[in-house]
Amino acid sequence: MMSGVQEMKGLLFEELELIVETTSNLIRKISPEDWSYQPRENMNTLQQLVQHLVSVPKIDLLIIQEGTEQAVHQLEAEIKDEQNVEKLIAWMNDGFAELKVYMEGLSDDDFLHKRGIPFYLEHGTIQAKWLIEVVTHAQHHRAQLFNYLKQLGYEVNMFDLY
């Protein structure tokens, strides 16, 4: 019988998988000439937003596992100039798979009580909260991507998100 913790992990992964799938579909709509689109001077370009969004699972996993700031910057640099749509999507899918393996490998007790201390905070966060944070982080940036595409005149609507 599946524990409540396992059920919760499953629901969070189901949501994150949907975010990855719908993000992939949105990225596939992008025309090459739109990569440099920037809604405002103080915002990321479409390319920068997509690169950040697809790196969320992998980068957040590194942070969860208490990777150093230098290690995070090195990982971010690996995708910095990527515009190949399928490589960007693969990056996100790989990160999702790695995150899932890590989280599923945690005991219920570790998932609920083990704290990881990121390089940018003095206090730790439990693994369960980290997983929720990855989901909301990806969801936030997928919404930004959706809005960028709307502003560019792409045919996108709520059905692209579910």
Whether 147 has a pLDDT exceeding 90, the answer reads yes
What distances in angstroms separate CA 55 from CA 69, 88, 96, 154, one per listed residue? 15, 8, 9, 23
User: pLDDT per residue over 71-122, tens digit each?
Assistant: 999 999 998 878 899 999 999 999 999 999 999 999 999 999 999 999 998 8
Q: What is the arithmetic mean of pLDDT over 120-140?
A: 95
Predicted local confidence at residue 82, as pLDDT: 84
pLDDT 10s digits, 33-51: 999 999 999 999 999 999 9
Give residue 21's pLDDT band: very low, low, confident or very high (50, 70, 90): very high
Which residue's structure tokens are 């025309």? 31
Rounded Cα–Cα distance for residues 96 and 104 (Å): 12
CATH value of 4-31+44-161 in 3.30.70.3270, 1.20.120.450, 3.30.70.20, 1.10.490.10: 1.20.120.450
